[in-house]
């Protein structure tokens, strides 16, 4: 039996993170980050995403992350700690909340 509209083609596939959620519980529970992944297939200029699950990382203030250039995926030689990442996200939240509040005033 033939496949309906079958096309034989060459393409490209890679895995990417399409969403990140950060859990910042109030009372003593562990802070976590979830990285939701998808495989992306490109066939004849058609993009086909396929969601595949997530990775979870528990926040540990002293853990170190090597920074990578998002365009090349190359390690830059710089590092940050989880504590610094937390501070950056906190600052983004506060700046956004203050901007919202000022627009509502």
Is residue 60 classed as helix, strand or coil in its secondary structure? coil
Residue 36: pLDDT band (50, 70, 90) is very high
CA dist 101 and 105 (Å) reads 6
Query: Regarding predicted confidence, which is higher, 10 or 75?
Result: 75
Mean pLDDT score across all residues of the chain: 94
Question: H-type helices in the chain, by residue range?
Answer: 82-104
Region 73-93: what's the mean pLDDT?
Answer: 97
Region 48-64: what's the mean pLDDT?
Answer: 97
Percent over 70 (pLDDT), the chain:
98
Residue 7: pLDDT band (50, 70, 90) is confident
User: pTM of this prediction?
Assistant: 0.83
Q: Report the candidate in 90, 25, 22 with the shortest Cα–Cα distance to residue 57.
A: 22
């Amino acid at each position: 039996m033939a496949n309906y509209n079958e096309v034989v083609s060459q393409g490209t596939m890679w895995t990417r993170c399409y969403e990140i959620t950060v859990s910042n519980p109030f009372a003593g529970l562990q802070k976590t980050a979830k990285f939701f992944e998808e495989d992306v297939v490109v066939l004849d200029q058609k993009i086909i995403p396929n969601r595949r699950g997530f990775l979870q990382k528990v926040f540990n203030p002293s853990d170190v992350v090597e920074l990578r250039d998002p365009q090349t995926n190359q390690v830059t030689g710089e590092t940050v700690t989880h504590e610094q990442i937390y501070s950056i996200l906190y600052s983004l939240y506060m700046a956004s909340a203050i901007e919202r509040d000022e627009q509502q005033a």
